Copies of this chain bind each other. A is one copy, B any other.
Amino acid sequence: MFEAAELGRKVSKKTFAKEEPKLHTELLRVQRELVKASVPVVIVVSGVEGAGKGDVVSLLHRWLDTRGIQTHAFWEESDEESERPRFWRFWRSLPPAGTIAIMFGSWYTKPVIDRVFDRKSETELDQELSRIRSFERLLTDEGALIIKFWFHLPKDVQRQRLESDKKKATRAKPSPLLKKFSKRYDRFATVSERTLRQTDTGPCPWHIIEATDGRYRDLSVGRILLDTLSRRLSAPVSSTEPKSETAPGATEDSVTILDRVDLTQTVSEADYARRLSRHQRAISGLSWKMHQKRLFTVAVFEGWDAAGKGGVIRRVTRAIDPRLYRVISVAAPTDEEKAQHYLWRFWRHLPRAGHMTLYDRSWYGRVLVERVEGFATERAWRRSYREINDFEEQLARHGIVLMKFWIHISPEEQLRRFREREKTPWKQHKITDEDWRNREKWDAYAGAVNDMIAHTSTAHARWQIVAGNDKRAARLQVLETFRRRLSKTLGS
């Protein structure tokens, strides 16, 4: 794979001087158009040590308007990063729409290095590469542009460079990494080739660049960048496709999973009080144990308007020391959130080791409200089942205890609660015109819920459907599940 990057190609000083100003001017022009088109761009800078990756990063800063660039270097993980699923640090560094993120080191760095130094098996590398493909696809599907550069040096050139850097008074001292890697050149080449081969996909191809001659390297980067950016601007992708006219609502079947829920069960007040306090006391102790063992919990609460999500969440959190949990109420996204992939704002709040995050509404908004109201295209929300499953699998793989509750009530019960809310002074703020409008779309929502559960109730993240007509029964069911899951996780 690297043979084509060992041809000894060069660019003369004269050619460079002639070409560069043109490239520079053109790059600035397309960058301005990218801002207008709100395209987020990720430039991955990787390759062998000594190939001048740092110089390329500096070059990009010179060629592009730095106000729209952010460079991210991924090497040492902070504990906030290492305590979260591996991709968290990449999510937090993604470029907002209209800007460019230069990834110096990237999601490729650790898998390659781990394999080079035999910390991971080939199978593990392959699995990780498959996750990377999913990650990149998820970004490009939402309209991001990913440009991946791999800078290559033949073995002898790398060694020469190491020697000469030591002696000569060049601009920068050689990075301490150069020496370490030059010893393992062959191994590194094998692993990289495997990596590149498996992640050289249609929407995210690799550009392998011969880096022996600096001017050739730089001009190549400039041309590829200009070409890729220009093509992207002239061919908008799916994310900008027109919204489908008919918001797809109810499924074909008029009977949904929800129709099977037994809503008749009730719990007496005395029984409730007794069981509630027993569960809460148990959860209190379990949550401290989870903390001591540095384990994580993520709980998702979804349900009909007025299903009692808030009340359920408060019964759970009352049992837990406020230092151990955070409740994230999902409201309208901020503009920093809007400028990112829709999953970004949920990644953002993932708990650290020993902590819990409770989401009051969640990423499932994509396949519920966004689907029914037509905010997302059919293509987009259909795609998101897989994206969500991937996301949840990452949580599960990281050891996060993930619980998902759909709190179900009947339309009649909802009506009763809406009316009660209108009458009760401290509940009036909870009922808006929007709630009444949503209610009219009950069947469309029921269909969406049915599909959501069908597509996303997976082995590592089962949906728990909670019968909510009786608030007490619903709360006990959630608390019991919560308690059981923590207990099982702790093996107690």
Chain A residues close to B by CB (< 8 Å): 21, 24-25, 28, 32, 53-54, 57-58, 61-62, 65-67, 69-71, 73, 75, 78-80, 102, 104-105, 169-173, 175-176, 277-278, 280-281, 284-285, 288, 310, 313-314, 317-319, 321-324, 326-327, 329, 331, 334-336, 352, 360, 425-426, 429
Contacts and interface: CB of A to CB of B under 8 A. Distances in A.
B281 A173 contact: yes
Nearest to A57: B322
A400 to B, nearest CB: 17
22 contacts: A21-B425, A28-B429, A32-B429, A57-B322, A61-B314, A65-B429, A66-B310, A66-B313, A67-B329, A67-B360, A80-B80, A105-B323, A169-B278, A169-B281, A172-B319, A173-B284, A173-B285, A175-B321, A334-B335, A334-B336, A335-B336, A336-B336
A389 B329 CA distance: 37
Contacts of A280: 171-172
Contacts of A331: 67
Q: How many copies does the complex hold?
A: 2
Contact of A58 (B70, B175, B314): B314
B105 A317 contact: no
A360 B68 CA distance: 12
A21 B329 contact: no
A71 B357 CA distance: 12
A424 to B, nearest CB: 9
A28 B280 CA distance: 27
Contacts of A288: 173, 176
Contacts of A360: 66-67
A54 B169 contact: no
A322 B71 contact: yes
A71 B360 CA distance: 14
A325 to B, nearest CB: 8
A334 B171 CA distance: 37
Contact of A78 (B80, B284, B426): B80
Nearest to A361: B67
Contacts of A281: 169-173
Contacts of A334: 334-336
Given A21-B425, A75-B323, 4 more contacts: A66-B327, A66-B360, A69-B329, A71-B327
Contacts of A78: 78-80, 352
A322 B58 contact: yes
Given A32-B429, A336-B336, A62 B169 contact: no
A319 to B, nearest CB: 6
A324 B318 CA distance: 44
A171 B284 contact: yes
Nearest to A327: B66
Contacts of A326: 70-71
A170 B281 CA distance: 7
A172 B288 CA distance: 11
Nearest to A328: B70
A81 to B, nearest CB: 8
A226 to B, nearest CB: 13
Nearest to A331: B67
B317 A61 contact: yes
Nearest to A22: B425
Contacts of A75: 323
A71 to B, nearest CB: 6
A331 to B, nearest CB: 5
B335 A28 contact: no
Contact of A79 (B66, B79, B426): B79
A54 B322 contact: yes
Contacts of A322: 53-54, 57-58, 71, 73, 102, 104
Nearest to A62: B314
Nearest to A324: B73
Contact of A277 (B65, B171, B277): B171
A431 to B, nearest CB: 12
A426 B30 CA distance: 12
Interface centre among A69, A173, A175, A277 (most CB of B within 10 A): A173
